[in-house]
A and B are shown apart, each in its own frame.
Chain A
């Protein structure tokens, strides 16, 4: 009895301070990973999955087009830096705005459809974004990707920081991710967040309660796109290039895999999913060039037997105890 209460209160505590706890874990994270570049990857793709989870986990809308937002964020940031010489901070902002712009167009069209139709339409529209960036060779480098993002020294509040040092790079990127997580947590705790979950549970009832469901979905789509755009911009700075694969259908699929592996509709699940995905990839690539076979099979097994994902199943287990 006492054990149950303390477990329940622990979970309640965890829920209240979820952003702070997540950031605390991420602060010590680089020391838990085999190498720091992998930690940065997990950080960036974890944020990508968090943004995706707003739509899939919390609103119940399965999008297969989120590569368009990761990609336009990355290209927006990279193009601003390389072709227009915008300072790094402003470039990140441009990346986020560009992905929000694409999210507004795609969202406007996609929310007119429902259910599995939505997944098909988002996939098709993101394919369109892929071709747009692919063909604008002068700006994007086309098939070769965007190169020349050389960020060695960055100025933060008057200080010059060495961005080539992996540890420094991790913490600079973490600052952005931490801010995003705090914002995300506030958003979910707000009345708006409650409406999102109401739509996921029962769309007709949410409509009957007087909420403008289409508008809420649209706003959620744009916010989700902007979060993924931030992840894309940070990814561009981290990798120094933007490969065209960033916009590929499989990149959209990757984030679906991460969210499901980690656990949908949980706050920290996307990071667990991104970590599981990338660690698995890192481990398997040293063993076989056909690691995607294992990845696909693991994903199929998760859909069949663990639809709550790693973190979601762990949380459910803790609640039962």
Chain B
């Protein structure tokens, strides 16, 4: 470890934050749906994958990354709307495991449909023109796209937070997460809120897919390892908590970046060890409410 300097260490922290941004994006979509509908969306990774493919397809049509960033979440969110309306809605009031099982099966359907449409092999997704190269951030050069990823995640999290905390609709969402019965009594159509929240959550999954696409090859299976990682983040942060998703996502990103620097062979396993550690101390996660776990 002769080349280890403070700058290198700090640079690795920033790399971890960029990696963590993807985790944050994945976990807030998952957490939003869980916090409101108490459904674990096992197709979340598949929605993420569909988002990446939708990005490949729309980028080919429009040649404009920014337009894709708007269109992809809308398109993937629309698929989410259809899924909630026709597949998940019949399951409300049934066994709590049923939506989880259904979305698991749905993941299969998505992966196979993408294989039919785009083939079995991965598709490279090049970094958009204005975001290539690296910039000097004071401690060394850092890829511009990763900085953009951190910024985009920050904007999205802030926007979502303002939406939930400051708007009337956000108030209804917060109330619905606590007590849907009272909302119904007040004359609010809860099923519409649930529909919309599911659409938002899957839309964010799609957005994470296109944002992560330039970092890796786009393959039909790309959502599978990501699902486990998103689960680790939500378990560490606490289900249904926005702050938890952000904190845990960044934490997991930094842990992975640090272990890849010091113990590369442990990089894949490290996040699971982190989860095990958190489970031992706080089974409900860092920001989770114990009551939500049932």
Contact = CB atoms under 8 A, between A and B. Distances in A.
Given A113-B279, A124-B232, A303-B105, A135 B265 contact: yes
A6 B68 CA distance: 66
Nearest to A129: B272
Given A109-B276, A253-B104, A293 B96 contact: no
Contacts of B280: 109, 112
B36 interface: no
Interface string A289-314: 01011011101100110010000000
Given A109-B279, A114-B293, A115-B293, A304 B108 contact: no
B123 interface: no
B8 interface: no
Interface stretch (B51-59, B86-94, B197-205): B86-94
A77 interface: no
Contacts of B105: 257, 296-297, 299-300, 303
Interface stretch (B112-120, B136-144, B172-180): B112-120
A304 B109 contact: no
B40 interface: yes
B219 to A, nearest CB: 15
A295 B294 CA distance: 30
Contact of A124 (B40, B94, B272): B272
B272 A116 contact: no
Taking residues whose C-beta sits less than 8 angstroms from the other chain, chain B's interface range is 35 or more
Contacts of B94: 307
Contacts of B7: none
A290 B110 CA distance: 11
The A contact surface, by secondary structure, is helix
B181 interface: no
Contact of B108 (A260, A293, A307): A293
B97 A116 contact: yes
Nearest to B285: A117
A123 B106 contact: no
A127 B272 contact: yes
Nearest to A65: B228
Given A260-B101, A290-B112, A296-B108, A123 B239 contact: no
B106 A296 contact: yes
A293 B224 contact: no
Nearest to B97: A62
A318 interface: no
Interface string A88-130: 0000000000000000000001001111110111011101100
Interface of B: 34, 38-40, 42, 87, 90-91, 94-98, 100-102, 104-109, 111-113, 115-116, 224-225, 227-228, 231-232, 234-235, 239, 265, 268-269, 272-273, 275-276, 279-280, 283, 293-294
